[in-house]
Structure 1
């Protein structure tokens, strides 16, 4: 009954969903392409494939170590990777090329997901992180396709949201064959929603195993910005946070007049608006996509898939989606990437999606929480004035990453029995 009501609501919202794609295609034409795949009419993958779903860029990055491990352990095993966003699709192709099959995951409509699974007939489904789709899971169970939720995370805020549909959430989680959770706390929240405890394994976070980027691009960017100048990065910012970053940058330049801000908005459709904001406020702004080499105070990263290289070029990284002043604070973004590169990280108070990781970073002394733009400017100034302290924080961050590696091997061990039985 609950799933039927959910499906009715989803069908009713379908025109809005396609309207949103059309609206977003004003800035990114990729949003108006491949609509048939949104309804389950994707290209067929090779027979007997393993299907892995990674929503967008972040999930694709997390999945890369696992995909690499699967390809090395089973070189003849065909892989189908689905994403939801064009940015995720483009990033997947840039990293893996044609070594995997790819299409969009359809909307969670009963007919669309049945069509998708009937066309692909995967021997196993692997879903990354927090993707609980009632109709997709029900269709997989009906077709006897084992379904694993890996690198699973569930913030307290998301758990409260799922709890409002408690019976539907429980039925959905009961259809999972196994779950590999990032932390014990994530696992307990899933169990509280209805996951059978015997199906849970705490495997850790796959992002700890992501290979550090080649430093060449970061070194070149640092040289372009000026080797002797202080550089900080505001990464994955959302609406409202770019203004906070620019305000902090103006305050910072009172003490460090030659400081450079690398500004990396989270969503590509906002690049042009952010560039306009920077220039209207009088900042000498360079665009990553059209860099003429002239000196700048703000370097706008209007490009995709380069965030690790941008981090490598910076002295300090502020992680967006986390400032309470942002009207769209999302619960923060991943702190692992700056830590992996040995960069001190700063972040706002809204880090619900990465609460355990935040506590690890804070307890170890590898990062700091800031309250607002003025606090951000003060912490930036203090760290830029103390290179020795930055170096120690970076060393602690890298040691923390090394301590928590191994999620790929544990996740692969969770998956292997289902490949053998297939």
Structure 2
């Protein structure tokens, strides 16, 4: 398509120049923020030059398939796709924005990295000269951006250079759709400039089409195709066996956000004190962000509940294993302050309270929990995972709890948790629903590959 006919020709570049100017003004603050965040994760102070397009003497791949996965969740979601591309002989360039995403990619693809078939770097910030250095250095055959990563500078420059750019596993919540609309023509042209958008659901596809995007396909959610690592699952089963020896059940509060831990802890205290438990249940609380681990530890301590940190436990894969009963017998809460072990927490749990959904942050991915046989309790805020949440609730794999006030939400949450703890038949039924829900929605990776086939053959 000639540039004159493409929407980018009509983009309000005065707005784009303002966008660039703001980025340049923010550079010192961006660096300071990285250093500040490195207090909790030293990875934020590593490879800072890459965030501005400077990659040193890294050995280059030839015309790689570039896949951008911001953090851990997106990195794991690309696993089946990347493995297929590597198997077909395509070199892969995997970019991230967070150290945890980069670590997850290193753990998944260490062998391909050693063989030179996959390379990892940070994607530079959306600044014209950093974009130029990145694209000229790696010369990708095509780019695949995960979910919501529509950076104007990258999208427009890739189009100008003739690099096909797809938004895959794409989602656009109603809230984000309205935000894009508020930018008028500028927001519409951004999404019209993608070669194609491969959307998770019909809801997402309709919103993209309402922005004037022509090439939108519904492919499903790649996160249904995630395969947990056998070693991680084995660790979770080891924990589960240790918990079950004591006759206890376990509940995982997964990917919790600020403010949600207090709601869950209050509900948990109510459950423990209002029931005559022969073997009281165990709560596993796993905060979404590693830099909040110590903060959440303080909250659990202040709640008066007995707890231990995962980081203080022995690893059953080491030679220094301690009797599991020393860890599980005397605690009410396990704080999951580890990375890359979410599947282990799910494998050890009987059901899940999904973080991000109790307060208005849009929810988190419930798919992995269901795939590991855990029915899910959801709060009212699931707009980032709208379709998956609606489908899970409809088929019985998830339970919705609501409350206009925190006290109402605490009561509703405590009631839902208690029902699943005491009603074995209901819990077993919903476990089966969760497994069936995950199995029935698989296949998005293959559908994405089918849509990409013409671009991969060029």
Q: TM-score range by the shorter chain?
A: over 0.9
Distance 1:105 1:404 in 2: 31
Q: Deviations over 1:359-413 (max 9, x none)?
A: 1111111111112122111111111111111111111122122221111111011
In structure 1, runs of 5+ residues without a counterpart are none
**Among residues 244, 248, 263, which one is paired with 1:244 in the alignment?**
263
TM-score (norm 1): 0.94
Q: Secondary structure at the match of 1:405?
A: coil
**Among residues 106, 110, 125, which one is paired with 2:128 in the alignment?**
110
**Among residues 135, 139, 159, which one is paired with 2:153 in the alignment?**
135
Distance 1:256 1:50 in 2: 58
Distance 1:25 1:46 in 2: 30
Q: Secondary structure at the match of 1:264?
A: strand
Distance 1:141 1:369 in 2: 43
CA contact (8 A) 1:45 1:80 kept: no
2:220 is the alignment partner of 1:204: yes
CA contact (8 A) 1:44 1:119 kept: no
Alignment of 1:199-348 (within 5 A): 199-214=215-230, 215-227=233-245, 228-254=247-273, 255=275, 257=277, 258-291=280-313, 293-294=326-327, 295-324=330-359, 329-348=360-379
CA contact (8 A) 1:82 1:104 kept: yes
CA contact (8 A) 1:287 1:302 kept: yes
Alignment of 1:175-186 (within 5 A): 175-186=193-204
The number of equivalent residue pairs is 413
Distance 1:8 1:194 in 2: 28
Q: Secondary structure at the match of 1:233?
A: strand
Question: Aligned-pair RMSD on alpha carbons?
Answer: 1.5
In structure 2, runs of 5+ residues without a counterpart are 1-13, 113-117, 315-325, 403-408
Q: Report what 2:392 is aligned to.
A: 361
Q: Secondary structure at the match of 2:373?
A: coil
Report the more deviating stretch, 229-238 or 156-165.
Answer: 156-165
Max Rg structure: 2
CA contact (8 A) 1:166 1:193 kept: no
Q: Report what 2:173 is aligned to.
A: 155
Q: Deviations over 1:206-243 (max 9, x none)?
A: 11111245331111112334531121010000111111
**Among residues 412, 429, 437, which one is paired with 1:375 in the alignment?**
412
Q: Report what 2:36 is aligned to.
A: 23
Q: Report what 2:437 is aligned to.
A: 400
Q: Secondary structure at the match of 1:253?
A: helix
CA contact (8 A) 2:265 2:303 kept: no
2:144 is the alignment partner of 1:144: no
Q: Deviations over 1:77-132 (max 9, x none)?
A: 21010010011011111111151200001111111111111111011111111111
Q: Secondary structure at the match of 1:180?
A: strand
Q: Report what 2:208 is aligned to.
A: 190
Q: Deviations over 1:310-369 (max 9, x none)?
A: 011111101101113xxxx31000111111122110011011111111111111111111
Distance 2:128 2:59 in 1: 19
Taking a change above 3 Å as real, the CA distance of residues 194 and 2 of structure 1, as seen in their structure-2 partners, is: farther
Taking a change above 3 Å as real, the CA distance of residues 194 and 112 of structure 1, as seen in their structure-2 partners, is: farther
TM-score (norm 2): 0.87
Distance 2:22 2:333 in 1: 44
Q: Report what 1:172 is aligned to.
A: 190
CA contact (8 A) 2:155 2:165 kept: yes
